[in-house]
Amino acid sequence: MSLADSLKAFKSERAEVVSRNAAHSRPTTTGPISRTSTPKPSSGANNNEKRTHDAAFPSSRGVAGGEIMRLVVGAVEKLKDNDFKPLSWLELVRYMSLPLDLRGAKGEATFKRALQSHHRLQYIHAKDSADGQESFRYRPLHPVTNGEELRDYLARLETAQGVPVKELKDGWPDCIPTLDRLENLGCILVSRSKKDGAPHRVYPDNPRYHITMAPSNSTTKATKSAEGPSSASALQEVVKISPDFQAFYSNIRLPANDNDLRAELEKAGLTPTSTVREVSKGPLKKKERKRVDRKNAKKTNVHLAGLLKDYSKVKAAKAASD
């Protein structure tokens, strides 16, 4: 078949396929085309208005936990800046400017429960309040705001760990001058840092045990005006010790160096803590290992007893002769 005949046969076959596919295609309509759109839900509101985020995502309604905690932190800072005085619930809500989701009885109740459960806030009921209103007050780490309260608080402590000055500043920011004054009066003990001498921790003390401190009239007046009459009375109750004992104690002089101090302790029959303990080492003896005679041990080569010669009698006779 020539090339022209092959092309003619291909065109005829293609025409048959096109006509066959056209017969199975969708029939066209001769009349006008009617188009119908998807019906929209009927609503009384204007359809041109955009939906809000809460309307589009109903599951996200309400205030998240992070938003409530942010409000609680702001309330704590407000109460701390209020000079540790109570603040009524109404004033606190008015200051916080609650969001729309927390406004109303239900939202305010949620916010109030969050404040009541906070460990640094104290809730005061209306019947216990002076003005008859519910209020909150900041609760510092230590209930101390002046020198007299500090002395009473240290006296009530059940442990000897003292109070860190950093925690004391939480409720008493300007406590450093009073701490220095009480330390000079012998009312407290203060540990300080070696770098800058800043107070680090406070311990209880009593001026009655400071035998070298004699209270003067000026010291008593300054103490009475600064810390109250109890501190001045404590200074007046200094323990009186015999002058002879004070002179005898003051005349005792320690040796100038450690060697002399060690010699004095040994002369008095005392063992200095710096003495090196000598361990006596005797002559080392090599420990002889004893040979165990196993009479009841399992014997081997029993099957060769008739072939081997028994030398046990010769060994016993040799041992007896020796």
Identity of the amino acid at 98: L
In sign, the C-alpha dihedral spanning 137, 143, 146, 148 is positive
Q: What is the pLDDT of residue 238?
A: 55
Q: What is the pLDDT of residue 48?
A: 55
Cβ atoms of residues 240 and 218 within 8 Å: no
- For residue 275, how many other CB atoms are within 10 A of its CB? 10
Q: What is the pLDDT of residue 57?
A: 45
Could you give the CA distance from residue 56 to residue 63 in angstroms, rounded to a whole number? 16
Tokens 């305010």 sit at which residue?
A: 108
Identity of the amino acid at 253: R
Q: What is the pLDDT of residue 59?
A: 39
pLDDT tens digits for range 11-53: 888 888 777 766 655 555 555 555 555 555 555 445 556 655 5
Tokens 């909150």 sit at which residue?
A: 136
Q: What is the pLDDT of residue 112?
A: 87
Cβ atoms of residues 111 and 69 within 8 Å: no
Could you give the CA distance from residue 89 to residue 158 in angstroms, rounded to a whole number? 36
Q: Along the 322 residues of the chain, how does pLDDT read in single tens digits?
A: 677 887 788 888 888 877 776 665 555 555 555 555 555 555 544 555 665 555 554 433 445 567 788 888 888 888 888 877 889 988 888 888 777 767 777 878 888 888 988 988 989 888 888 888 899 989 999 989 899 999 999 999 998 899 999 999 998 999 999 999 999 988 999 999 988 999 999 999 988 777 654 444 544 454 455 445 444 444 445 567 788 988 898 898 888 888 888 888 888 888 888 776 666 666 777 777 777 767 666 667 777 766 777 777 887 888 888 7
Q: What is the pLDDT of residue 314?
A: 82
**Cα angle 70-71-77, degrees, rounded to a multiple of 5:** 95
Q: Report in angstroms the alpha-carbon separations of 212 from 48, 223, 240, 245, 249.
A: 91, 18, 10, 12, 12
Mapped onto helix, strand or coil, the DSSP state of residue 192 is strand
Beta pairing, strands 87-88 & 163-164: unpaired
Q: What is the pLDDT of residue 55?
A: 54
Q: What is the pLDDT of residue 38?
A: 55
Q: What is the pLDDT of residue 232?
A: 47
